Amino acid sequence: MMALNRHRLKHLVKTGRRGARTTQGLLQQTEELLSVILIGNNVINTVLPVLTASIALRYFGNDGVVLSIATALIAALIIVFCEIGPKVVGATYPERIALPASLAIKPLMRITQPFVWAVNVLVRALLRLIGIDTRKAAAEQRMSTEELRTLVLEAGNYMPTKHRSILLNLFDLENISVNDVMIPRARIEALDLSAPLESILQQLETCYHNKLPVYEGDIDRIVGVLHVRKTLSALRHHEDLGIDTLRELLTDPYFIPSDTPAFRQLQYFQENHQRIGLVVNEYGEVEGLLTTEDIIEELIGEFTTSIPGLASGRSGWSDQAECLVGGGSSLRDLNRRLGLHFPLTGPKTLNGLILEVLREIPEASICLEIDGCRMEIVQIANQAIKTVRLFKPKQGTPGAAGHPA
């Protein structure tokens, strides 16, 4: 009864398996169940030697040798056939034995209920004297997130790899913030209303997104979000489309604090019927942009169309065990796609990690190694590392501290 898988038992109850509901009901009364089983077990184990001794005395008299042999024989039989044998079989096939046995145990519990109640009252009183509260301990036995994670990891033979990966990513989503999944500020495609109208219209016709953040002069001065398709439709019907018309088409921006947990933000998106938000820090400065797709991709992997110029490294390692990636690439994305082990507790991008290791902006292309991955800085522009060539670590290479190679 104790070796039964409780989750499988719930499934058997739903499928209507005979004896499953009775077994589930018994396991919800653990103290009473154990009392009935142990009382019955001990009564039989006590009565058998007494009966054996009585029979030996009746037929062989008060012979010490006969009594010793009879006692040793019955003890061996009890140990093998009443204790070890049945318990090993029960632990090996708990479902086959527990379900039919529950149909016999339930009537016994009803018959012995007054006696079991008296015994349990006495036992609880004795346990409380030594500081053990069984009811409180049972209420505290809840499965933690890490225990659930271990359960999913151990279900490898029973769960498809993709399903297991999604569940594990869901647990991780509780521990990451929007900072970990957002599009960084430098990669935001936004519209500047202070730019010439011709430049704005050209950007609208060639942009890769359906919604664009709109600012005026500085990206920290966000004035709204523009629906590109609606704007292009208005452009077809109104030849005199100007800045004022664009302002009328703007919707209110949605701002997200930078320390918001990613899973909670996904719920906020759903509750507020939003799909795009701007991540801001404590000073109100824009740090990045977040969409529902960015969070969902953390669960199920990449599924949106890649944008030219931003998809470096998404094809994986080349035949030469190399990969060319952008300096603004997310460390989480590189770890997931390339099987690397970059730290995630500090900088969020490869550029930030390299600068943290070097403690300066390199003036020329150099090679270095971080956590077992060798890399070469290929391009530097505007005080930032633009392109990096990664070299695939050899199998079994231990993570090493970052140092120039």
Strands 191-192 and 211-216: parallel
| 335: its two tokens | 């770890």
Q: What is the pLDDT of residues 348-359, one digit of tens each?
A: 888 889 988 888
Question: How many percent of the chain have pLDDT more than 70?
Answer: 89
How confident is the model over 389-396, as a mean pLDDT?
Answer: 82
Q: What is the pLDDT of residues 21-33, one digit of tens each?
A: 888 888 888 888 8
Structure confidence at residue 207 (pLDDT): 83
Q: What is the pLDDT of residues 158-168, one digit of tens each?
A: 677 777 777 87
Whether 78 shows a pLDDT value over 60: the answer reads: yes
Contacts of 282 (CB under 8 A, 6+ apart): 258
Residue 23 sits in the same domain as residue 115: yes
Residue 113 sits in the same domain as residue 185: no
Whether 308 shows a pLDDT value over 60: the answer reads: no
Helix (H, G, I), strand (E, B) or coil at 276: strand
pLDDT-based confidence at residue 310 (cuts at 50, 70, 90): very low
- Tokens 């489309």 -> residue: 241
Q: What is the pLDDT of residues 239-295, one digit of tens each?
A: 566 788 888 888 899 999 988 988 899 999 988 888 899 999 888 899 999 999 888
Residue 21 sits in the same domain as residue 124: yes
Residue 313 forms part of a structural domain? no
Predicted TM-score (pTM) of this structure: 0.58
Structure confidence at residue 66 (pLDDT): 83
Picking from 365, 364, 368, the residue whose alpha carbon sits closest to that of residue 356 is: 368
Residue 136 sits in the same domain as residue 234: no
Structure confidence at residue 157 (pLDDT): 66
Whether 155 shows a pLDDT value over 80: the answer reads: no
Question: How many percent of the chain have pLDDT more than 90?
Answer: 8
Mean pLDDT of the chain: 82
Asked if 338 contacts 318 with a C-beta cutoff of 8 angstroms, the reply is no
Structure confidence at residue 309 (pLDDT): 45
Residue 98 sits in the same domain as residue 21: yes
Structure confidence at residue 240 (pLDDT): 64
Q: What is the CATH number of the domain that holds 358?
A: 3.30.465.10
The DSSP bridge partners found for residue 227 are 211
Residue 18 sits in the same domain as residue 58: yes
- Counting the structural domains of the chain, the total is 3
Asked if 27 contacts 6 with a C-beta cutoff of 8 angstroms, the reply is yes
For the chain, the residue count is 405
How confident is the model over 87-104, as a mean pLDDT?
Answer: 87
Q: Residue 203 sits in which domain range?
A: 176-300
Strands 218-227 and 373-381: unpaired
Residue 45 sits in the same domain as residue 89: yes
